[in-house]
Amino acid sequence: MSNETRSALSAAELAAWPHVFREAAGGGATEAPVFVTLHGTGGTEHDIVALADALDPSWAVLSPRGRTSENGMNRWFARRGEGVFDVDDVVVRAGELADFIEWATASYGLEGRPLVLVGFSNGANIALATAFLHPLVAQRAIAFSGMYPFADRRLDARLDSSTILLVGGADDPMAPAPSVATLVSELERAGAAVTAAHRAGGHGIAAADLERAKEWLAAL
């Protein structure tokens, strides 16, 4: 675990972060890759594990809970309205998540194992923010129904070793096409390998999205 501190969270706070960790089946030492599943608004660290199982039940799963709450709904960062993100909070929360992933990597002995962030909706947006800001921790990500998480802010990220899959609906009002276009161009400008596969339809995880994600995982 690096000593770099990205967030104000202490080691005790990282250890107390509500999360699920499920080791890959089979017991004993394993080199199985790890999904880091990130729920959407109002979701939980428990229900999003089903997404990992739909992708590949043989992987280990690390599933933390978003640390902010909006009217009692778990979220990953604050917003001022639908799609209007508090970008400063996005940056802070991405740092917290990167620190949590490093804490969990050390605590559960996951060093050297491939790790893929898998987020849906608000969870996709924090996965993308973390991939932009902390590429050594979040080098691979699948964003289901995600959008560009930094509004008008542009970064000088270098993501030459990053591999990102974007799937979702081309007519998703919660991940508007102009924001997705910015997302693709900013990831490409940073040097990431980006695959964008948007189907007809709106917000949600369609069977076609799962199929694209499985194909992408198989090609990793």
Contact flag: residue 82 with ligand MLT (CB under 6 A)? yes
Could you say which of 172, 179, 198, 209 is catalytic? Answer: 172
CB 46 within 8 A of CB 21: no
172 part of the active site: yes
Residue 89: φ, ψ to 5°: -70, -35
Q: What is the C-alpha to C-alpha distance for residues 201 and 188, in angstroms, rounded to an integer?
A: 25
79-87, 136-144, 152-160, 206-214 -> range binding ligand MLT (CB under 6 A)? 79-87
203 part of the active site: yes
Contact flag: residue 122 with ligand MLT (CB under 6 A)? yes
Q: What is the C-alpha to C-alpha distance for residues 199 and 176, in angstroms, rounded to an integer?
A: 13
Q: Classify residue 216 by its DSSP letter.
A: H
Map the footprint of ligand MLT across residues 139-178, applying CB under 6 A.
174
What would the two tokens of residue 78 be? 């604050």
Note the residue count of the chain. 220
Q: Which of 41, 139, 162, 179 binds ligand MLT (CB under 6 A)?
A: 41
70 CA to centre of own chain? 19
77-85, 127-135, 136-144, 194-202 -> range binding ligand MLT (CB under 6 A)? 77-85
121 part of the active site: yes
Least distance (Å) from ligand MLT to the CB of residue 120?
9
Going by C-alpha positions, the residue among 205, 5, 197 that lies closest to residue 99 is 5
Catalytic residues: 121, 172, 203
Q: Which residues lie near ligand MLT (CB under 6 A)?
A: 40-41, 79, 82-83, 121-122, 125, 174
